[in-house]
A and B are shown apart, each in its own frame.
Chain A
Amino acid sequence: MQLSIIGRYLRPPFQIAPPLFQSCVAAGFPSPAQDYIERTLDLNELCIQHPAATYFVRAEGSSMLQVGIFSGDILVVDRALKPSHGDIVIACIDGEFTVKELCTRPAMKLVAHNPAYPPISIDEGMTLELFGVVTTVIHSLSRR
């Protein structure tokens, strides 16, 4: 580790604090836009409906390209939503999180959008463990 001295630290007891005027004094012409300023947009508001119930999960693999999920994408997962037919969900299968489409009709099954992975049917008596519903995919175009 390399260190270099960037300045001396003066001990506060030997310093005398100058008085500071905290508010600015307006001089000149007021901005004509002042009355029209709104707050900035917050992406959280767009992507997250239930902050306490929302977790981020990273996707790995390529079986969901058709629904727009690529390897490395960040999935916004809302646990507060009730999963229903057609939702993209995070399911716990064989001790792993996996991303699948939930189909509740005609029969309950989890579908991967890749012919290489057959759908997993959830028969009666089996418990389907879902971690949450994927609401948004964050896909960055620059991989820097």
Chain B
Amino acid sequence: MPTSPLYALVDCNNFYASCERLFRPDLKDRPIVVLSNNDGCIVARSAEAKKLNIKMAVPLHQVQEIIDRENIAVFSSNYALYGDISARVMTILEQEAPSIEVYSIDEAFLDLSGLSTHHSLTDYGIRIRRRVQQDSGIQVCVGIAPTKTLAKLANHGAKQYPATQGVVDLSDRQRQRRLLKLLPVREVWGVGRRIAQRLQLQGINTALELADCDPAWIRNHYSVTLERTVRELNGLSCLEFDQQPPPRQQILCSRSFSKRITRYQDMHSAITQYCARAAEKLREQDGLARLVSVFIRTNPHSQSDPFYSNNACRLLPVPSADSRLLCQTALQLLKTLWKPDYRYMKAGIVLSDLYQPGCFQPTLFDHTESVSAKRLMQTMDLINNSGRGQLRFAGEMLGSGWQMQRNHLSPAYTTRWDQLPIARI
């Protein structure tokens, strides 16, 4: 007998702020905010900071006054820390569920289809919640439902209403409809801001009103994607459970500079660094890239500076994951793009047209990547991942002053021997 689908969405509460607090007992009740790359905007807030009405994506300088007044702890993004804690949470979830789909750094779907119905699903959720909190130190909320879209909403409800104690079981149709009635349509997974506005203009304000729409009408007036959402809200599972996230179709590495770049050598070093990082990511997913694109641009919002933005790309004869070849290509592209006398704000590199090894058919005369190049790259990655040293291209060191600003970075508590948390004895 085929079992009906059942999913749980496990989502960490205020994940980045919780990671920062884990090793800082002195921050127990203090509000915390975490900043984006270059310490620009606020990208994460603790519950206390949310209560102080600090909004997401606000530039730091706009809230500096309230930060000082309320003694808010400020952190730069510490992705080494968040990545390590995330891996721990996911490992624990893997032990608790038949299979899991890691959806983002702080949330995962569990496939509970066929889970014995003798047990209360709420009890199961509570057990997961307690174990993750105990073992990793991170609090999570659990939403359980027959579709992914409903599981997302259940999780939202678990976060919103403290009475639920962090677990909401929406397997019952009546409970589904009761919660849907309470939630505005923009909280539904897959409904973006613009679609929500359009729906509201047509009098569809709550998630329940969307669920009660005719799917055919939605398909004709909106899209197949939204039609699927409507069906999912009615308990019909349409979104597959992907245990393995599909390999990325393109790899992007781009950042804004902490200071405007005006010298070529600084841009040369930035592009080399971004390209080396992109190539590293490419090898992490065991891919090969054939198309290399580079873009550079100045600040489009500046009143005083002239605007320039351009990009260029080149198709390699055969796909490659060799940092040397990719960097060299990127730098040749940069030379065609570079114009002096502009104040550049951002640059980036995109590797696309990706292949898995052995999937590309070269012509008889094409050179395929040599074994020694592959070994060299493997060795380089091994050294760079060991945490004991870094192998870099000389071109990355040419310029300076534009690198990422991280003035409020916490220690790599879990990934560096010299930065472990301290306990007094």
Contacts and interface: CB of A to CB of B under 8 A. Distances in A.
A64 B420 contact: no
Given A12-B325, A95-B25, A52 B423 contact: no
Nearest to B322: A12
Contact of A98 (B320, B328, B423): B423
B421 A97 contact: yes
A58 B137 contact: no
B424 A61 contact: yes
B373 to A, nearest CB: 7
Interface string B76-91: 0000000000011101
Contacts of B422: 57-60, 97
Interface residues of B, number: 37
A79 B424 contact: no
Interface in A6-61: 9, 11-13, 15-17, 20, 50-53, 55-61
A121 interface: no
Contact of B425 (A15, A71, A95): A71
Contact of B328 (A11, A51, A79): A11
Given A12-B373, A52-B88, A52-B92, A97 B135 contact: no
- Chain A interface size range: 35 or more
Main SS class of interface, B: helix
B425 A64 contact: yes
B369 interface: yes
Interface string B224-258: 00000000000000000000000000000000000
Given A12-B325, A13-B367, A92 B25 contact: yes
A136 interface: no
Interface string A67-106: 0010100110001100000000010100111110000000
Contact of A61 (B88, B413, B425): B425
B416 to A, nearest CB: 10
A1 interface: yes
B182 interface: no
B71 to A, nearest CB: 13
B135 A79 contact: yes
B28 interface: yes
Interface of B: 25-28, 87-89, 91-92, 95, 134-137, 317, 320, 322, 324-325, 328, 367-371, 373, 394, 397, 413-414, 417, 420-425
Interface of A: 1, 3, 9, 11-13, 15-17, 20, 50-53, 55-64, 69, 71, 74-75, 79-80, 90, 92, 95-99, 112, 129, 131
